[in-house]
Amino acid sequence: MTDIELYERVRNKDKQALETLYDRYERILYAFVMQLTKDRDLAEEAMQEVFIKLWRGGGVYDESKGKFKSWLFTMSRHVTIDLIRKRKPDLQLDESYAEAIPSPAPSVETEVEWQEERTQIETAMAELPVEQQQVVRLMYFQGLSQQKIADACGIPLGTVKGRIRLALKQLRRHLSNDLNDKEVER
């Protein structure tokens, strides 16, 4: 069953469908919210918020909105950042983390289910110049303000958006071929 079919069932209060969706996304979503929160309790709380939202119908997805997965992750990211701001309003950029520009993590992943997607994005990221990789990570995972991104990268504020735009364009180009095809089959 596709994600969208499951989502439709969840909309009709099918508990089994929500569980299936949960099983399908648990690991990657949890990894993602952990990446954002760096805190297991907060990550679990965020996961719960996400699934409550799905179950109660907060935020409505339909196919005209693009891929379900992007919608789900965007919604989850939003929920998680909200939680971080509430619980840890003073959470600051970890400077060392920012400077270390983690290159794509070596794939020691034991999961196979998401391996393909992971490989694709890692490959696409690796094609980017280092400064673009940095800006993508600072923005998506650290959720920094534009000013802090500028500070972390040592570039003028006005340059941040352009660099992000460029990075996204490159990423999209590298991803577009295989990832899009993949989505249709899922």
Site for another protein in 127-146 (CB under 8 A): 136-137, 139-141, 143-146
Q: How far apart are CA 144 and CA 160, in angstroms?
A: 11
Q: Taking CB under 8 A as the rule, does residue 155 contact another protein?
A: no
**Least separation in angstroms between CB 140 and another protein:** 5
Q: Work out which of 17, 98, 128, 164 binds another protein, going by CB under 8 A.
A: 164
**Least separation in angstroms between CB 127 and another protein:** 13
Residues within window 28-47 making contact with another protein, judged by CB under 8 A: 28-32, 34-35, 40, 43-44, 47
**What Rg value do the Cα atoms of the chain yield, rounded?**
17
Residue 15 exposed, middle or buried by CB count within 10 Å (0-12, 13-18, 19+): exposed
**Least separation in angstroms between CB 108 and another protein:** 7
* Listed residue (108, 127, 128) closest to 118, CA to CA: 108
Q: How far apart are CA 146 and CA 160, in angstroms?
A: 7
**Is residue 104 a contact partner of residue 122, using CB atoms and an 8 Å limit?**
yes
Q: Which is nearer to another protein, 2 or 70 (CB)?
A: 70
**Least separation in angstroms between CB 31 and another protein:** 4
Q: Which is nearer to another protein, 1 or 103 (CB)?
A: 103
Q: Taking CB under 8 A as the rule, does residue 179 contact another protein?
A: yes
What are the distances in angstroms from CA 148 to CA 56, 94, 134, 143, 151?
A: 35, 11, 13, 10, 5
Q: Taking CB under 8 A as the rule, does residue 27 contact another protein?
A: yes
